[in-house]
Structure 1
Amino acid sequence: MKKKTKLLLNLALTLFFAVMIIVKGPNLNPLYSDGAFAWCFIFSAYVVLNFLIGLGGIRITTDQASHMSVSVDKNVKGIKTGFTLLIIFWVLYFAATVISMPLFNYKAYRDQLGQPEISEFTDTVQPLALNQLPVVDKALARELADKKVGENPGLGSQVVLGTPVIQKVNDKLVWVVPLEHSGFFKWLKNLDGSAGYIVVSATDVSDVDLVTDHKIKYQENAYLLDDLNRHVRLFEGGLFRGMTDYSFELDDDGVPYWVITTYKNRWLFSLPEASGVAIVNATTGETNYYDIDHLPEWVDRVQPEAFIMQQIQNQGAYVHGIFNFSNQDKFRTSQGNIIVYNGSDCYLFTGLTSVGSDESAIGFIMVDMVTKEPKMYQMSGATEMAAQQSAQGKVQQYGYTASFPMIINLDGKATYFMTLKDRAGLIKQYAFVSVSNYTNVGTGETIDSALRNFRQVMGSSNDGIITGQGAKEAEGKVYRIASEALGESITYKLILKEKPNQIFTISYDLSNELALTEPGDRVKISYMASGTGICIATAFDNLEFKQISEDEETAPAEPPVPLPPSSPGSEVPDGDEAEGASGIQNSDEPAAAESSEAMESGNSAE
Structure 2
Amino acid sequence: MKKWIWLVWFLLLVEVSVYYWINLPPFNVMSMAFWLFALQTGGLVWLILLFTTSTGPRFERVTRMSGRQRQVDSFQLKGGTLSPLTRYLGRALLALMLILGLLLVIHTRIFRAKDYAQVVSVTEADFKEDFPETDISKLALLDRTSAEKIGDTYLGTIDKVSQFGISDDYRQITIGEQPYRVSPLEYKNFWKWLTNHQDGISYYVKVNQTTGKAELVKLKESMHYSDSEYFLNDTMRHLRFKYPTVLFGKPSFEVDDEGNPYYIATEYAPKFGLSSQDPIGVIVLNAVTGETQRYQLEQVPDWVDRVFSADNVITRVNDHYTYQKGFWNTIFSQTGVKKTTDSYNYIAIGSDIYLYTEITSATADSSNLGFILVNMRTRQVTNYKLASATESAAQASAEGEVQEKGYEATAPSLVKFADKAYYLVSLKDDAGLVKTYALVDAEDYQQVTVNNDLANLIAQVTGEDASSLSSLSSSLTGESTAETIIITGQVEALGTQMISGSTVYYISSSGKIYKVKATEDSIDQLPFLKVGDQFSGELSKNNYLKNFKIIESE
Please tell me whether the aligned partners of residues 250 and 265 of structure 2 are also in contact (alpha carbons under 8 angstroms).
Answer: yes
The 3 A distance-change label for structure 1 pair 161 and 81 is closer
CA distance in 1, matches of 2:285, 2:445: 44
Check if 1:203 corresponds to 2:210.
yes
Shift of 1:176: 0.6
Structure 1 residue 340: deviation in Å?
1.4
Instruction: State, as a whole percentage, how many aligned pairs show the same letter.
Output: 26
Flag the structure with larger Rg: 1
- Residues 214-239 of structure 1: CA deviation (Å, up to 9, x unaligned): 423222232222221111112x21x3
| Counterpart in the other structure of 2:481 | none
Cα distance in structure 1, aligned partners of 2:466 and 2:304 = 35
The within-5 A match list for 1:6-155 is 6-55=5-54, 58-60=58-60, 62=62, 65=65, 69-70=76-77, 73-114=80-121, 116-152=122-158, 154-155=160-161
In structure 2, what residue type is equivalent to 1:155?
A: V
In structure 2, distance between residues paired with 1:388 and 1:454: 18
Superposed counterparts of 1:498-509, under 5 Å: none
Which residues in structure 2 correspond to 1:169-248 (within 5 Å)? 169-191=175-197, 192-234=199-241, 236-237=242-243, 239-248=244-253
Residue-by-residue CA offset, 1:401-448 (whole Å, 9 max, x unaligned): 222112122111222122223333333322211111111111212234
Aligned residues of 2:174 and 2:352 also touching (Cα < 8 A):
no
* C-alpha distance in 2 between matches for 1:58 and 1:231: 42
| Aligned with residue 410 of structure 1, among 406, 414, 417 | 417
Q: CA deviation at 1:99?
A: 2.3
| Corresponding residue of 1:287 | 292
User: Do structure 1's residue 435 and structure 2's residue 418 form an aligned pair?
Assistant: no
- Quick one: distance in 2 between partners of 1:269 and 1:228? 25
Q: Would the aligned equivalents of 2:427 and 2:437 in 1 still touch at CA under 8 Å? A: yes
Q: 1: CA distance between counterparts of 2:359 and 2:325?
A: 17
- Cα pair distance change 1:347/1:68, threshold 3 Å: same
Partner AA of 1:278 in structure 2: I
Q: What displacement does 1:156 show?
A: 5.0
- Deviations along 1:241-294, one digit per CA (max 9) or x if unpaired, are 221142211112111000111111111222211011111111221111111111
C-alpha distance in 1 between matches for 2:158 and 2:435? 26
> How big is the shift at 1:59?
4.4
Structure 1 stretches lacking a partner, 5+ long:
457-470, 472-481, 491-606
Number of residue pairs aligned between Structure 1 and Structure 2: 462
Alpha-carbon distance, 1:392 to partner: 1.6
Distance 1:357 1:408 in 2: 23
Shift of 1:147: 0.8
Contact preservation (8 Å) 1:180, 1:216:
no
Within the alignment, does 1:318 sit opposite 2:323 as a pair? yes
Aligned counterparts, 1:253-272, within 5 A: 253-272=258-277
> Within 2, Cα distance between the matches of 1:44 and 1:219?
35
Distance 1:33 1:23 in 2: 16
Q: Following the alignment from structure 1 to structure 2, what is the Cα–Cα distance between the partners of residues 272 and 48?
A: 33
> What CA distance in whole angstroms lies between the structure 1 residues aligned with 2:357 and 2:24?
34
Q: Name the SS of the counterpart of 2:116 in structure 1.
A: helix
Of residues 163, 170, 180 in structure 2, which corresponds to 1:164?
Answer: 170
**298, 302, 311: which one aligns with 2:307:** 302
Any conservation in 2 of the 1:159–1:181 contact (CA below 8 Å)?
Answer: yes
Query: Judging changes above 3 Å, is the alpha-carbon distance between structure 1 residues 486 and 21 closer, same or farther for their aligned structure 2 residues?
Result: same
Question: Quick check: 86-95 or 301-310, which moved more?
Answer: 86-95
Instruction: Name the aligned partner's letter for residue 144 of structure 1.
Output: I
C-alpha distance in 2 between matches for 1:52 and 1:69: 10
The question of whether the paired residues in 1 share the 8 Å contact of 2:141 and 2:413 is answered with no
Alpha-carbon distance in 1 for matches of 2:27, 2:79: 32
Distance 1:315 1:297, change over 3 A: closer
The 3-state SS of whatever aligns with 2:328 is coil
Q: Secondary structure at the match of 1:327?
A: coil
The structure showing larger relative contact order (alpha-carbon pairs under 8 Å, at least 6 residues apart) is 2
Structure 2 vs 1, CA of residues 10 and 134 (structure 1 numbering), >3 Å: closer, same or farther? same
TM-score by length of 2: 0.77
TM-score normalized by the length of structure 1: 0.71
Match of 2:308, SS state, is coil
CA RMSD of aligned residues (A): 2.7
C-alpha distance in 2 between matches for 1:444 and 1:154? 41
Unaligned runs of 5+ in 2: 66-71, 474-554
Report the CA distance shift for 1:71/1:119 in structure 2 as closer, same or farther (over 3 A): farther
8 Å contact kept, 1:148–1:210: no
Aligned counterparts of 2:342 and 2:83: Cα–Cα separation in 1: 59
Mean Cα deviation higher: 4-13 or 200-209: 4-13
Distance apart, 1:105 and its partner CA? 1.4
Q: Taking structure 1 as reference, are residues 223 and 483 closer, same or farther at Cα in structure 2, changes over 3 Å only?
A: closer
Map of 1:596 onto structure 2? none
Residue identity matched to 2:18: V
In the other structure, the counterpart of 1:577 is none
**What's 1:568 paired with?**
none
Shift of 1:146: 0.5
Letter paired with 1:40: L
The aligned residue for residue 545 of structure 2 is none
Question: How far apart, in 2, do the equivalents of 1:382 and 1:335 lie?
Answer: 13
Decide whether the 8 Å contact of 1:178 with 1:216 is kept in 2. Answer: no
Q: CA deviation at 1:455?
A: 5.6
Deviations 1:302-336 (A, max 9, x none): 11111111112222332322222232222221111
Q: Deviations over 1:166-187 (max 9, x none)?
A: 1111222211111111111111
Counterparts of 2:162 and 2:470, CA distance in 1: 27
* Counterpart residue type for residue 160 of structure 1: I
Give the deviation of 1:6 after TM superposition. Answer: 4.2
Structure 1 partner of 2:510: none
Measured at CA, do residues 136 and 57 of structure 1 come closer, stay the same or move farther in structure 2, by a change above 3 Å? same
State the 1:10 CA deviation.
2.7
Alignment of 1:568-583 (within 5 A): none
Q: How does 1:551-566 map to 2 (within 5 A)?
A: none
* Residues 72/178 of structure 1: CA separation in 2 closer, same or farther (3 Å cut): farther
